[in-house]
Structure 1
Amino acid sequence: ITQEQFILASQSLHLQRPGCEAVYPVGLYGWRKRCLYFFLLLLLVTMIVNLALTVWIIKVMNFSTDSLLVLRSERNVTLNARNHQGQLTGQLTVGPEGVEAQCQRLEVRSRDGGRLLFSADEEQITMTTEKFTVTGSEGAVFGHSVETPLIQAKTSEDLRLESPTRTLTLEAPRGVEVSAGAGTLKISSRKDLQLESTEGEILLDADSVRLENLPLGLHAGSTGQAPGKQAVYEVCVCPSGKIYLSPAESVSTCQAMSSICLWS
């Protein structure tokens, strides 16, 4: 090849060779690299501390599926329920002086959750248990009327209905039954004891009916024996309903003008 051909070939190759571009280094160097490593190390330490605190809280609070959940507080423990608008709909507060529940309706159900045992709202309190037992020495005190189909004492214990300073009234549209299946029925009153039936009768059905401490009524001109020697008496009723005894004779000695009836 001649020198001229070599020069022309070299010029053509030189014209087709692309120009060399500037080379820039890629990466983090200097203080930027140190800051990145510092933040990664800080994130790793935060994750480890967060995991350790979570394990510690689970251990201290006894969060486990095999044990009870225990909440402890030096004052009150309050549980709040809110709706989707954030309004308070229910609250349960357990404190040193008592347990307070604020809700529209409070219900207590059986262990399986199927049977309602107790419910309370603003209008009434309902108990559906088979027995309601009061173990206090003074019994149960009711400020107003009580409606119930049955009041029964425990086995071998007495049942006592008492009103120390007021009147005790038992009413029912179809009758009131008071019975003592294996004991004595005692009704006492400091003043008057009134048995009243507006449309029916009062029936005393027993092997023996005893009316103790009845007054003895005498009338003028009575020829009966002395009270200490009289063996048989007659039970008399005044127009006012008062019962008294009168000496029994061949004919009835009950008189409306008896001293008992006059002073009653």
Structure 2
Amino acid sequence: MDPHSLSRSRQTPAARTHIVYTDQKGRKIPYADKITPEPILNNNEGRDTKADSIRNSYNSQFKVGIYGWRKKCLYILVMALMFMMILNLALTLWVLKVLDFNSEGMGQLRIVPGGLQLLGQAIVLDSLFASSIKSRRGQPISVESSRNFTVSTRDSHGSLQSRLYLGHDRLEVNVGRLEVRDARGGLLLGATQDSVTVGADNLVVTSPAGASFHTAVQAPLVRAPPSKQLVLESSTRSLEMHATQGISMQSRAGDISASCLTTFRLRSVAGAIRLDAPNIYMPKLKSALPLPPSTPHTHDPHHQNIYQLCACANGKLFLAPPHGVCAAREESLICR
């Protein structure tokens, strides 16, 4: 064997070189792991064919993009998002159509400067919070509830201040002071925890049973309406009238009648009882039998209905014959 050839066979392999190819546009195409570089042709046709072959080999080794099941999942996700977007758009258009949204508001609800204007009826399913509720000009406002209606006000701390409750059979107002005023602002009725004030000129009670007071009544004047009678009556208990200075009962065009079942008393502690009238009648006084005459007197037929007004020791009044002593034969029967 040729020693030269043997030495040549034992030589180390040629070092690996890194060759960079360029395409027609001058872009670099890396191509490695070539032991011996292939000759580069001088003509352009050969250079293009070699660059294309290198590019195809490079692309076959390193693929760029999403392939396989990842690509299918991406398409499915994109289609689902597109379907949800279309469905959301359709629902939004349906809601706008049902609620009748327009440039001025929603249906019969209009947005006006300072608030909202409702042209029809409104149904509130829960609570309604508003600073002011007004009706249209020239139109009434009506608030209806199937069970009850409650209006409440609270202070800055959230505590309940006043409450208006309207139920099926009652009206309740929980306030510190209740006032009813007329169109001019005058007080007609005021009620607090301590007193009730009636500011009207006349308090008219039209009930046939009248007015019932369980405690005392203080009034400077009690007057009956025109062409009506004034009756002060206590059906089961006593009736008392007290005054610091005086009590005056006056009837300008009629009578004053006071009646009772047992005893009617007029008493003056430090003064007197004065009956000031041209005629005083006591029609039901008892008449005493005349005493035996001590001196004869003539019988006058013109004075047969005239009697003496006598009083017993206990203050009881009786009538006696006009002539003789003011005494009764049966005094124990008359004065008892």
TM class, shorter-chain normalised? 0.7 to 0.9
RMSD across aligned positions (CA):
3.3
Query: How far apart in 2 are the matches of 1:180 and 1:91?
Result: 47
Q: How does 1:128-143 map to 2 (within 5 A)?
A: 128-143=199-214
In structure 1, the partner of 2:141 is: 69
- Greater RCO, CA 8 A, separation 6+: 1
5+ long unaligned stretches in structure 2 = 1-78, 111-116, 123-133
Partner of 1:238: 312
CA gap 1:260/1:153 in 2 versus in 1, 3 angstroms: farther
Query: In the TM superposition, what is the alpha-carbon distance from 1:53 to its structure 2 partner?
Result: 5.3
Q: Pick from 79, 103, 106: which aligns with 1:51?
A: 106
Q: Report the equivalent of 1:185.
A: 256
Q: Which has the larger radius of gyration?
A: 2
Offset, 1:243: 1.9
Q: 2:269 aligns with which of 168, 174, 198?
A: 198
- Given the superposition, is the C-alpha separation of residues 259 and 217 from structure 1 closer, same or farther in structure 2, using an over 3 Å criterion? farther
- Aligned identity (percent) is 27
Q: In the alignment, is the contact (CA less than 8 A) between 1:233 and 1:245 conserved in 2?
A: yes
TM superposition score normalised by structure 1:
0.74
- Indicate the residue corresponding to 2:215 in structure 1: 144
Gaps of 5+ in 1: 1-29
Check conservation: 1:239, 1:261, Cα contact below 8 A: no
Report whether the alignment pairs 1:162 with 2:212. no
Report SS of the residue matched to 2:227: coil
Of 23, 42, 52, which aligns to 2:92? Answer: 42
Q: Which amino acid aligns with 1:242?
A: K
Amino acid of the structure 1 residue aligned with 2:121: V
In 1, Cα distance between equivalents of 2:230 and 2:187: 28
Q: Classify the secondary structure of the residue corresponding to 1:108.
A: strand
**Distance change in 2, residues 1:241/1:145 (3 Å):** farther
Question: Hey, what does 2:283 align to over in structure 1?
Answer: 212
- Report how far residue 82 of structure 1 moved: 0.7
Distance 1:86 1:142, change over 3 A: same
State the alpha-carbon separation in 1 of the partners of residues 332 and 119 from structure 2. 90
The 3-state SS of whatever aligns with 1:60 is: coil
Closer/same/farther in 2, CA of residues 94 and 222 from structure 1, 3 Å limit: farther
In the superposition, the TM-score normalised over structure 2's length comes to 0.59
Cα distance, 1:238 vs structure 2: 2.6
- Which secondary structure state, in structure 1, belongs to the residue aligned with residue 163 of structure 2? strand
How many matched pairs?
A: 228
Q: Is the 8 A contact 1:217 1:259 kept in 2?
A: no
* 1:49-103, Cα deviation, whole Å (9 max, x unpaired): 7611525953125941322221011221111011111111101112221211011
